[in-house]
């Protein structure tokens, strides 16, 4: 069912089971549909197609993969129209991804708001989205850049998954999060056993420990007010221009961001038809907002950085009621020159502390 | 399965009108029914080449065909100027909010326009005069760089001037030998005595610099920011509030505009750039 509201609330505990080996679960999934699992490359994870016939080491990723989930739902470049015939989105086969984290699930919630908006549903996104089977997993040993707890996230899935896997000292706990997930568990009931209470307690302890770790890592970045208020009261700040001196406009932050969804449409001439393509774009690009006559409201880099943050925490929040940032920290890892979204926000926060109260609107 | 938002409708160019040295109007007939409200915009595709946003200049009441005036100003528009009669182009839309005509009822409508900004204004003007008894009066203050740069010359210099209930003045930045009218920017023909500000809405459309100074002029006359309607030109690409290019602060010009009151956008930086 589209609309993307999973019909089962996590609190209902419709099914918590356990399984001894991860490969047993993943093989059962891969027997039915195409499955992507984390693959370690250097210090990071990306996703690769899972092949149960090959003995490849199975990674239970401790943190989110480097690959943003949007890559699967809203690819870098795709054909969206052919002229003058019409084009239907390609049939998408059901597929599953194992190893998504809470931040990934929350980024899907954000993309859903944009691309499945009632009046203007994007049929290409919709096709892929409804075929995705999500097997999320708990985080452990978080990265330095992980900062989900600052932005309302947790190191374990809260909602938006079909199945969630938690690693314990004795096998894995599998939690059902949707009807699709329940159907799967019921169909493969012989693989699962009831989850012992002791393991559930262990799981919750591990979760709390990881959460505490992230909170401690990020305590120095905590703000005095909600992030949208900090930004809205800082629109005249020089911090954006000062921070922009570190930026080389590589746009890596927007490409790797799982919630950034700007794109541009361009037309191409193929051998025997004309095509309209949709491709990722970046609001950090100089000419991004320029019009044909040459006018450009954000010629200055600092203004583009400000716009990006305002979009994430103020404009998007106003429109959809949630922030457009999940605190995954990918942009922090990607920025070789050391711009850190947490530091920028903290600097604005410090600046506001020194401002006379009257100037700071509540 | 929902309609593909990105798919243009094929439309035939049935007539091309040379309006000025840099502006041509295209009369097109979409192959599927295509309805719009005055002030809404469309995306035109020259297949294989590019796409750009335009506000139709014809009246929405004409459901058979549509007119679009295009100024040669960038890559796509230069190429669009090479289109010929009989050629098929693509059209998507309509997008955004048109002029809120119901809010204009019983009021004077004070229209300030310049250059190719007369295109959306022509559509609005034709719509207003169809039901002119609904409005107290229609005041037009139009400008162009030179007399030759005026578009819709026949109408602007001729029969629009004669419509009862319409008060029209024209100006040019630079006159030629035949020009008998005012010389100066458009704000030089806007006078406080023209209207009863308390019962008037202002509509402004033109190049950014003109819109800025016309807005300041209206404020000087005592218009409240909420009485001033601006047709904003930004880099609209998708047309439905997703791609991000046209954002002014929290607004997507394509979806929340392109018609805004000055009240809505006045606090955002660089709106005229």
> What residues contact residue A123 under an 8 Å CB cut-off, 6+ apart?
A89, B1, B2, B3, B4, B5
- Could you say which residues from 70 to 89 on chain B have a Cβ atom under 8 Å away from some Cβ of chain A? 73-77, 88
Q: How do strand B88-95 and strand B41-46 relate by DSSP bridges? A: antiparallel
CATH of B9-95, one of 3.40.50.1370, 2.40.50.100, 2.40.30.10, 3.30.2130.30: 2.40.30.10
Q: How do strand B9-18 and strand B88-95 relate by DSSP bridges? A: antiparallel
Number of H helices, E strands in chain A: 13, 11
C-alpha B246/C-alpha A355 separation (Å) is 32
Percent of residues, chain A, with pLDDT higher than 90: 76
Peptide bond connecting B116 to the previous residue in cis, omega within 30 degrees of 0? no
Of A123, A235, A315, the CB nearest to B2: A123
Q: Is B235 on the interface with A (CB under 8 A)?
A: yes
Question: How far A310 CA sits from the closest chain B CA (Å)?
Answer: 8
Q: Please write the tens of the pLDDT for every residue from B204-213.
A: 999 999 999 9
Do A195 and A17 contact (CB within 8 A), yes or no?
Answer: yes
Residues of A in contact with B243 (CB under 8 A): 262-265, 281
Task: Find the mean pLDDT for residues B61-69.
Answer: 95
Task: Find the mean pLDDT for residues B99-117.
Answer: 96
Task: Give the pLDDT band of residue A119 (cuts 50, 70, 90).
Answer: confident
Do A288 and B233 contact (CB within 8 A), yes or no?
Answer: no
Closest CA to A66 of A146, A125, A127: A146
C-alpha B246/C-alpha B233 separation (Å) is 8
Whether B9-95 shares its CATH topology with B101-231 is answered no
pLDDT at A57 over 80: no
Please state the domain extents for chain A: 10-67+89-219, 227-260+283-354
Question: How far B127 CA sits from the closest chain A CA (Å)?
Answer: 27
Please state the domain extents for chain B: 9-95, 101-231
* Exposure class string for A217-233: b at 16+ Cβ within 10 A, else e: bbeeeebeeebbbbbbb
Burial of A358 (0-12, 13-18, 19+ CB in 10 A): exposed
pLDDT of residue A2: 38
Q: Is A262 on the interface with B (CB under 8 A)?
A: yes
pLDDT at A7 over 60: no
Q: Is B67 on the interface with A (CB under 8 A)?
A: no
pLDDT at B25 over 90: yes
Percent of residues, chain B, with pLDDT higher than 90: 88
**A294-300: long-range contacts (C-beta < 8 A, 24 or more apart)?**
A295/B208, A295/B233, A295/B272, A295/B273, A296/B273, A297/B234, A297/B248, A297/B269, A297/B270, A297/B271, A297/B273, A298/B270, A299/B273, A300/A241, A300/A244
Q: Is B273 on the interface with A (CB under 8 A)?
A: yes
DSSP type of residue A260: -
The two structure tokens encoding residue A324: 């457009």
Do B232 and B265 contact (CB within 8 A), yes or no?
Answer: yes
CATH of B101-231, one of 3.40.50.720, 3.40.50.80, 3.20.20.70, 3.30.930.10: 3.40.50.80
Angle at alpha carbon of residue B110, lines to B106 and B112, rounded to 5°: 155
Task: Give the pLDDT band of residue A10 (cuts 50, 70, 90).
Answer: very low
pLDDT at A8 over 50: no
* 3-state secondary structure at position B6: coil
Measured between CA atoms, the residue of chain B closest to residue A2 is B1
- Mark yes or no for CB contact B76/A122 under 8 Å: no
- Mark yes or no for CB contact B4/A89 under 8 Å: yes
How many cross-chain Cβ pairs, A to B, lie less than 8 Å apart? 135
């Amino acid at each position: 069912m589209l609309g993307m509201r999973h019909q089962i609330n996590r609190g209902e505990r419709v099914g918590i089971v356990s399984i001894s080996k991860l490969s047993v679960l993943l093989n059962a999934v891969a027997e039915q549909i195409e499955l992507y699992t984390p693959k370690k490359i250097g210090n990071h994870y990306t996703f690769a197609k899972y092949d149960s016939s090959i003995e490849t080491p199975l990674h239970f990723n401790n943190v989110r993969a480097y690959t943003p989930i949007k890559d699967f739902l809203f690819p870098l470049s795709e054909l969206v129209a052919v002229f003058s015939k019409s084009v239907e989105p390609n049939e998408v086969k059901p597929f599953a991804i194992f190893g998504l984290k809470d931040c990934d699930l929350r980024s899907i919630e954000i993309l859903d708001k944009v691309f499945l908006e009632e009046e203007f549903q994007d049929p290409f996104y919709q096709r892929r989205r409804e075929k995705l089977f999500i097997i999320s997993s708990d985080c452990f040993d978080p990265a330095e850049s992980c900062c989900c707890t600052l932005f309302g996230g947790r190191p374990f899935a809260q909602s938006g998954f079909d199945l969630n896997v938690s690693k314990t000292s004795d096998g894995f706990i599998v939690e059902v999060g949707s009807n699709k997930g329940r159907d799967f568990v019921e169909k493969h009931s012989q693989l699962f056993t009831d989850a012992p209470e002791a393991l559930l307690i262990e799981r919750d302890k591990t979760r709390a420990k990881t959460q505490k770790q992230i909170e401690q890592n990020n305590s120095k970045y905590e703000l005095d007010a909600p992030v949208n208020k900090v930004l809205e009261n800082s629109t005249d700040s020089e911090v954006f221009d000062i921070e922009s001196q570190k930026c080389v406009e590589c746009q890596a932050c927007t490409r790797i961001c799982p919630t950034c969804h700007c794109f541009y449409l361009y037309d191409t001439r193929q051998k025997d038809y004309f095509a309209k393509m949709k491709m990722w774009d970046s609001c950090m690009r100089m000419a991004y907002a320029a019009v044909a006559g040459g006018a450009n409201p954000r010629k200055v880099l600092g203004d583009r950085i400000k716009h990006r943050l305002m979009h994430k925490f103020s404009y998007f929040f106003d429109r959809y009621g949630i922030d457009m940032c999940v605190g995954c920290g990918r942009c922090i890892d990607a920025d070789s020159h050391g711009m850190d979204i947490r530091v920028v926000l903290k600097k604005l926060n410090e600046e506001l502390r020194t401002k006379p109260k009257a100037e700071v609107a509540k | 399965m929902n309609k593909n938002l990105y798919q243009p409708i094929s439309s035939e160019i049935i007539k091309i009108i040379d309006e000025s040295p840099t502006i041509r109007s295209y009369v097109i007939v979409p192959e599927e029914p295509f309805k719009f409200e005055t002030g809404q915009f469309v995306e035109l595709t020259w297949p294989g080449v590019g796409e750009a946003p335009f506000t139709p200049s014809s009246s929405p009441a004409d459901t058979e065909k549509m007119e679009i005036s295009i100024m040669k100003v960038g890559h796509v528009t230069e190429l669009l100027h090479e289109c010929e009669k009989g050629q098929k182009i693509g059209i998507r839309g309509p997008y955004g909010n048109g002029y809120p005509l119901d809010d204009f009822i019983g009021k004077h409508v004070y229209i300030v326009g310049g250059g190719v900004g007369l295109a959306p204004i022509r559509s609005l003007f034709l719509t207003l005069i169809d039901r002119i008894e609904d409005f107290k009066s229609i005041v037009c203050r139009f400008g162009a760089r030179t007399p030759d740069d005026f578009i819709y010359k026949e109408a602007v210099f001729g029969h629009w001037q004669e419509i009862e209930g319409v008060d029209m003045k024209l100006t040019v930045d630079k006159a030629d030998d035949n020009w008998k009218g005012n010389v100066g920017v458009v704000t030089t023909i806007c006078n406080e005595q023209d209207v009863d500000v308390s019962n008037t809405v202002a509509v402004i459309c033109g190049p950014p610099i003109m819109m800025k100074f016309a807005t300041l002029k209206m404020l000087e006359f005592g218009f409240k920011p909420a009485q001033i309607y601006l047709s904003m030109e930004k880099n609209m690409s998708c047309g439905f509030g997703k791609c991000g290019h046209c954002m002014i602060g929290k607004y997507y010009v394509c979806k929340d505009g392109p018609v805004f009151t000055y009240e809505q956008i006045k606090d955002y930086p660089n709106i005229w750039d």
